[in-house]
Amino acid sequence: MAAATTPLKALQALRGDAAGCRACPLWRGATQTVFGEGPLDARIMLVGEQPGDQEDRAGHPFVGPAGRVLDRALAAAQIDRSAVFTTNAVKHFKYRTRGKRRIHQRPGAEEIGACRQWLDKEIDLLRPEVIVALGATAAHSLLGRATAIGPNRGQLLHSPPFDCSVLVTVHPSSVLRERDSESRSAALDALAADLRRVA
Ligand code: SF4
């Protein structure tokens, strides 16, 4: 009889399997697979788009500029980041080069579909009470269809593929793209207000 595995061992095994994934071409240009992180008993799972430049190098989700925005929004919503599980819809960094810089590129439907297997396994292992889709790519993966953020923002939707509740909001990087500090402050407040719904 096979030895019983613990959830932690199961997560470590999944992370190891994903590290060797070649199910779409994105692994070729990336440094490493960036898998989800957080406590296994997390009641909230936050799903972003894909690792950015800093996440790709560090091997951890949400450690770059967008991660710092997320930290501030979570703090404002009174959610302890150490108590949530953070991951991405796509586990490898997609980019194009401009000189020495690596410029983010949004994953396509085929890449989102190919990578859903890992998100599926993370959700299956954690069974969180609620999942937050941070941006259109996460919403697409979690809801199984292209989903506009505007009309669905702040709403709890049912996910047919995962049979769970998904709160839809923007990706924290959108706060950074606002034109001035006043707009960035307002966008951060709006993200925190969305997150407060799951707090
Ligand atoms: S992006 Fe996802 S599906 Fe594509 S190679 Fe990486 S882990 Fe596999």
Determine the atom of ligand 1 nearest the C-alpha atom of 114. 3
CA dist., res. 97 & res. 90, Å (int): 19
- Kindly tell me if the per-residue pLDDT of 131 is higher than 60: yes
Q: What is the pLDDT of residue 54?
A: 97
Please give the Cα distance from 116 to 139 (Å, whole number): 12
Which residues approach ligand 1 with their CB closer than 6 A?
18, 21-24, 26-27, 33, 90-92, 111, 114-115, 118
pLDDT above 60: residue 66 = yes
Instruction: Assign 72 a pLDDT band (cuts: 50, 70, 90).
Output: very high
Q: What is the mean pLDDT of residues 71-95?
A: 98
Cα–ligand 1 centroid distance for 55 (angstroms): 15
Q: What is the mean pLDDT of residues 53-68?
A: 97
CA of 115 to the centre of ligand 1 (A): 5
Residue ranges and CATH numbers for the domains of the chain are 32-196 (3.40.470.10)
Question: Is it the case that residue 173 has pLDDT exceeding 80?
Answer: yes
- Quote the pLDDT of residue 1: 47
Give the distance from CA 9 to its chain's centroid: 22
Q: Is 38 left (phi over 0), alpha (psi -120 to 50) or beta?
A: left
Q: Quick check: 74 pLDDT over 90?
A: yes
Q: Find the mean pLDDT for residues 75-92.
A: 98
The closest-lying atom of ligand 1 relative to the alpha carbon of residue 22 is 5
Q: Cα of 120 to ligand 1 centre, how many Å?
A: 13
The CA distance from 21 to 19, in Å, is: 6
Q: How many residues would you count in the chain?
A: 199
Is residue 3 pLDDT above 60, yes or no?
no
Instruction: Tell me how far the alpha carbon of residue 169 lies from the centroid of ligand 1, in angstroms.
Output: 24
